[in-house]
Structure 1
Amino acid sequence: MQMNKMMAALALLGMAGAALAQETVVKIGHSGPLSGAQSFAGKDNENGARMAIDELNAKPITVGGKKIKFELVSEDDQGDPKSGVNAAQKLVDSGVRFVVGPYNSGVAIPASRVYSDAGAIVATVGSNPKITEQGYKGLYRINASDTQLGSKMALYAAKELKLKTVAVIDDRTAYGQGVAEEFKKQARASGLTVAGHEFTNDKASDFTAILTSLKAKKVEAVFLGGYAPQGGPMARQMKQLGINARLLGGDTICAAEMGKLGGDAVGENVLCAQGGAILDKAASGPEFKANYKKRFNKDPDVYAASFYDGVMLYADAMKKADSVEPAKVNAAIAKGEFKGVAGTYAFDEKGNMKSSPVTIFTFKGGQPVPVTSY
């Protein structure tokens, strides 16, 4: 009798072992600013990745005959290049070979070398063109570049807003400089006068001196190459100084944080360009927004859908390659196409999206609302 019990126990253990053997754990790394002034963006991006992982684990995919269990490993890179390199090292040292992020171009540029050396695949929303000019295989940009964001904002300013004189302020980050230069280039090509180019930094909060000098030049719009923590106070100070110019920017000011920090100074006077089509008009956009709100009790911000898509892109490529080996997954991404929430992901030889629409937003009730996509 005792022997039968032992045999039964061993059989159960064997079954449990067999079940475990049929499961493969795949770590997905996330790098973003989870603390500091940009933490609203980092947490939103992390939420998007987490939501994808939760969905994949609820209905597991099978690769190489085994069910895949995904795990999120998230690191706070503080939006800082040095911290970003440390975060990258931590992720690859813990066995991560699939990464969504970094959010900031200034972090993505140096960190991408660490990921490349480890054979990891990276899907970043960093928009500075230099990111994909480095020649690393397995490094993908999953949104529009500065070239598209800056230039389309300038085209909109010239063609739709019919502006004549603009100025530029950039925060000297890789992102801020890149998007400001692209705006300036297209603005001049479209016949606009760029009356001034001023500089600040991504920790500043007082822009009175810069704005006063631009007021004297009677500019009709100020393009900010920078982030919402600077954009909100800048809008307030423009209003206080009686500057009736519009405040324009790239994707990083297309955030609810702008309305939160800028209050009633942020409205239809603020316009920004963001990669991707209008979420409400995308086939699975409304469902994504509803699921996100249900899961996190708030609306998704700028790139939650892109980070969600980044994780789903990896899962789709694993299925196509029938492997979780980074080299094979990378080959499937490079030659394939994946339809996500925020766009269709097909890449050129450098890792840029072949087609990335840009949406122009303005603000109503403190929230970014889409105006048009092109």
Structure 2
Amino acid sequence: MKPFRFILVAGLATTCVAVWAQQPTQTVTIGYVGPTSGSMAHYGVDARNAVTLAIDDLNQQGMVIDGKRIEFKLAAEDDAGDPKQGTLAAQKLCDAKVAGVVGHINSGSAIPAGRIYSECGIPLISPGATNPQFTKQGYKNVYRLVANDNALATGLARYAAEQLKVKRVVVIDDRSAYGQGVAEVFEREARAAHIQVISHEFTTDKATDFQSILTAIKAKNAPAIFFGGNDAQAGPMLRQMEQLGMGDVRLMGGDGICTTQLGKLAQNAKPLANVVCAEGGLSVEKMNNGKAWKAKYDQRFPKEYVLFAPYAYDGVMVMADAMKRAGSTDPAKYMAELPKTNYRGLSTRVQFDSKGDLKNPQFTLYTYQDGVKTPLYD
């Protein structure tokens, strides 16, 4: 009897596969936009990898919608972190009539792109844009999967005041939509926490020489710096702090500097050990099946994990979930399901508020131990 049972099950499985294979196939294109060239390329490549992984996982699941076997494919665009290039990429994806877009990592690119996607009726889910303005424009197609700058900068300011006992700080921002936004929130919350903001300095998101700013800060005897910007600038800044004898000065920042690459970019300079940064969401090890997912990611894309991958992965899955619930891959139909999302994702339980932000955003504070990004509370 045992051989007969085995043959029966095997035959049934073969029949199911045959029926599934005979169903008509519909190709559904998911767009992705992020910086895959320039100084921020590692952010964008990381997120693009995760979108690729999500699409592969969905195709292996064999999703069927409206009697059709869905085959997802990727249309990826590079915005180099530049708002103008980002809007051109958005229009290109609109013209290609993609079913939805995951991406625009940078707030400066994501904010103007939201209008373009709204006009062409395509959902946009950002895994990295943290400026609150992104979801304040009133567009019903725009969503965010990470905590915004209000949560990150507020958490950092409170930690600085209550745990680090910081009394005086200098704020620097790179004048980008992201850097300026997170720096302004931190400055406001630092003052509310009775931290003296000695000065607010400015640089650019292309700068690598901070000698003059740091020399001025050293003269003010500031024990801490908050930097609104990205790791491509924070790395050289930390090296130059060490060169100027500022090894004991603490550097704080948002998710822009809070990457796995910061230690390498800083060449493990002494001030790296004094970094405290905030990232929207849990550490990947504490996410839903996060360790196994990270191992899978690393096997497929060795040494390319940076920061936004879990949220980019969930962006694709949230769209697919809405399509399944709507019984349609047409954005005009499934977009109505996105506000109702209640999806157990990799990064979190995804539920959106009326603006398109997460209902219960979380964040994690990190430092660097022996050059390795490490959660402060684990």
Q: Unaligned 5+ residue runs, structure 1?
A: 1-15
TM score, norm. by length of structure 1:
0.92
- Provide the C-alpha distance between the structure 2 equivalents of 1:298 and 1:209, rounded to a whole number of angstroms: 34
Cα displacement (A) at 1:21: 6.4
- Provide the C-alpha distance between the structure 2 equivalents of 1:366 and 1:328, rounded to a whole number of angstroms: 48
Corresponding residue SS for 1:178? helix
TM score, norm. by length of structure 2:
0.91
Q: Select 2:203's aligned residue among 197, 200, 204.
A: 200
- Provide the C-alpha distance between the structure 2 equivalents of 1:122 and 1:340, rounded to a whole number of angstroms: 17
Cα displacement (A) at 1:196: 1.0
Cα displacement (A) at 1:335: 1.5
Q: Unaligned 5+ residue runs, structure 2?
A: 1-17
- Provide the C-alpha distance between the structure 2 equivalents of 1:307 and 1:226, rounded to a whole number of angstroms: 21
Corresponding residue SS for 2:251? strand
Structure 1 segments of 4+ aligned residues over 2 angstroms from their partners: 18-21, 364-367
- Provide the C-alpha distance between the structure 2 equivalents of 1:366 and 1:22, rounded to a whole number of angstroms: 52
- Provide the C-alpha distance between the structure 2 equivalents of 1:299 and 1:43, rounded to a whole number of angstroms: 8
Superposition pairs for residues 243-258 of structure 1, below 5 Å? 243=246, 244-258=248-262
Q: AA paired with 2:117?
A: Y
- Provide the C-alpha distance between the structure 1 equivalents of 2:53 and 2:140, rounded to a whole number of angstroms: 27
Cα displacement (A) at 1:299: 5.8
Q: Which residue of structure 2 aligns with residue 12 of structure 1?
A: none
Q: 1:351 aligned to 2:366? A: no
Superposition pairs for residues 125-144 of structure 1, below 5 Å? 125-144=128-147
Conserved 8 A contact 1:166-1:193:
yes
Which stretch shows the higher mean deviation, 222-231 or 291-300? 291-300
Which stretch shows the higher mean deviation, 356-365 or 102-111? 356-365
Q: Which residue of structure 1 aligns with residue 298 of structure 2?
A: 293
Q: 1:76 aligned to 2:74? A: no
Q: 1:216 aligned to 2:219? A: yes
Cα displacement (A) at 1:327: 2.9
Cα displacement (A) at 1:115: 0.9
- Provide the C-alpha distance between the structure 2 equivalents of 1:341 and 1:191, rounded to a whole number of angstroms: 38
Q: Which residue of structure 2 aligns with residue 317 of structure 1?
A: 322
RMSD: 1.6
Cα displacement (A) at 1:182: 0.7
- Provide the C-alpha distance between the structure 1 equivalents of 2:251 and 2:227, rounded to a whole number of angstroms: 7
Q: Which residue of structure 1 aligns with residue 263 of structure 2?
A: 259
Q: AA paired with 1:250?
A: G
Cα displacement (A) at 1:45: 0.5
Corresponding residue SS for 1:330? helix
Q: Select 1:174's aligned residue among 159, 173, 177.
A: 177
Q: Which residue of structure 1 aligns with residue 35 of structure 2?
A: 33
Corresponding residue SS for 1:324? coil
Q: Which residue of structure 2 aligns with residue 239 of structure 1?
A: 242
Q: Select 1:191's aligned residue among 189, 194, 201.
A: 194
Corresponding residue SS for 1:201? coil
Cα displacement (A) at 1:19: 6.1
Cα displacement (A) at 1:92: 1.2
Q: Which residue of structure 1 aligns with residue 59 of structure 2?
A: 57
Which stretch shows the higher mean deviation, 115-124 or 58-67? 58-67
Cα displacement (A) at 1:248: 0.6
Q: Percent identity?
A: 48
- Provide the C-alpha distance between the structure 2 equivalents of 1:208 and 1:323, rounded to a whole number of angstroms: 56
Count of aligned residue pairs for this structure pair: 357
